[in-house]
Amino acid sequence: MNSDLIQYIQEAKVSGMSDGEIQAELLSVGWNHGDVRHAFLDNISPELENPPIEQSEKIEAVVSVRGLIKHYGSVRAVDGIDFEIPKGSILALLGPNGAGKTTLVRMLGTLITPDSGQALIGGHDVIKSPDDVRKIIGLTGQFSAVDMVLTGRENLVMIGRLCHLSKLEAENRARELLIRFGLSDAADRQVKTYSGGMMRRLDVAASIIAHPEVLFLDEPTTGLDPHGRIELWHIIKELVAKDVTVLLTTQYLDEADHLADQIVVIDKGKIIAKGTSQELKAQVGGDVLELHLTDHSQAHRAAAAIEALGIEKPRIEELEAHIFMPVRGGASVLADAIRRLDQARIDLADIVLRRPTLDDVFLKLTGHVAG
């Protein structure tokens, strides 16, 4: 990235300018806004790599959820959930479709009322004082809630005004967010001409226009291309760096792994695991031996050949001719496995010994594959 630009931004920040002011100035002296935005993201990422550890001594829970339950008929969509989110951190709610993620987010966002339990957002009870909760939250639902006929700018100004910003405040804030989210070129185009990624960014921008303390994002990257996902990840990290507390739901294990300080895995409305991504991976224990075969008809023979080496039975994904098996014992297991497969005359495309991913964790916890 451009180091001049980064240095300039750092100096400007030290001098007390806001991000919006710095960006506006850079753009006005002729910098390309893509470069400016990336410089910003690069500039803030170093501090993100090292989350402030001293905070853990005195955790201030901004979101606190106790025994939350919601029924739909006889189905318990959310069945007694507890967690806390410290200020300025990200909690990822991970689970397959129908696990109860959306129901939980909608309860915390005051869109539906819990049947029992308690949820406090910034100290306000979602059941007793939803209006106070609404003043400090931003909510981005699963589908982009923006008006397709209005322009990006009109959408943001409208939401800002509905959050009781003055006309001038709303306009300034809209301009600032459009620049920050890389939408300034498209600001005065109707939203229906936007790509999926642009719409999603506008949606998130609308959710944070009134500087919420807590942001709920329901599957923010579902349906985005890889580029769009990474852009949104940057935006989320940037917000958390500014002390916004984020709860996001996702079906993507790598997303939770990449973004979250804390992961809560839910299935069928219940929490089945909680912890950092490291802690969750430790639950699988050991490493994972992964085989890719050239011929999927050999899968069962290959599994039988290596079964004795594992701490659990191998899992076969037959269509893709993949075999996964948790193992203990490091590199010697790998050598052993190759020998046995060779003796059984299995044609290998690839074999790796790797640290477990959240996919492995999920499978271990639920007995089924996520998604």
Partner 1 sequence: MKIISETLILVKRSLIRYTRVPQLLVFSTIQPVMFVILFAYVFGGAIKTSINYVDYLLPGILVQTTLFGAMMTGIGLADDISHGMIDRFRSLPMSRGAVLAGRTISDLLRNVFVIFLMVGVGYIIGYRFEGTFMGALGALFLMLLFGFAFSWISALIGIAVKDVETAQSAGFIWVFPLAFISSIFVPVEGMPKIFRLFAENSPITYTVDAVRRFSVNQPVDYTFWASIIWLAAILITFIPLAVRQFRKIS
Show the site string, 97-126: x = touches partner 1 by CB under 8 A, - = not: ---------x--xxxxx-------------
**Strands of 287-293's sheet in order across:** 315-317, 322-327, 287-293, 348-354
- Give CA–CA dist 184/176, Å, rounded: 9
Q: By CB under 8 A, what part of segment 199-218 binds partner 1?
A: 206
In this structure, which amino acid lies at residue 245?
Answer: T
| Piece in contact with partner 1 (CB under 8 A), picked from 4-12, 88-96, 157-165, 251-259 | 157-165
Shortest Cβ 108–partner 1 spacing (Å)? 10
Q: Is 270 left (phi over 0), alpha (psi -120 to 50) or beta?
A: beta
- Chain length of the chain: 371
Q: Does 75 bind partner 1 (CB under 8 A)?
A: no
Shortest Cβ 72–partner 1 spacing (Å)? 10
Radius of gyration of the chain (CA): 24
Nearest to residue 290, comparing CAs of 323, 313, 321, 319? 323
| Piece in contact with partner 1 (CB under 8 A), picked from 3-11, 140-148, 250-258, 316-324 | 140-148
Q: Does 180 bind partner 1 (CB under 8 A)?
A: no
Nearest to residue 204, comparing CAs of 188, 228, 226, 185? 228
Shortest Cβ 147–partner 1 spacing (Å)? 7
Q: Does 312 bind partner 1 (CB under 8 A)?
A: no
Q: Does 71 bind partner 1 (CB under 8 A)?
A: no
- Binding residue (CB under 8 A) for partner 1 from 25, 82, 147, 290: 147
**Phi–psi pair at 79, nearest 5 degrees:** -125, 70
Binding site for partner 1 (CB under 8 A): 106, 109-113, 131, 134-135, 137-139, 141-150, 154, 158-159, 161-164, 190, 206
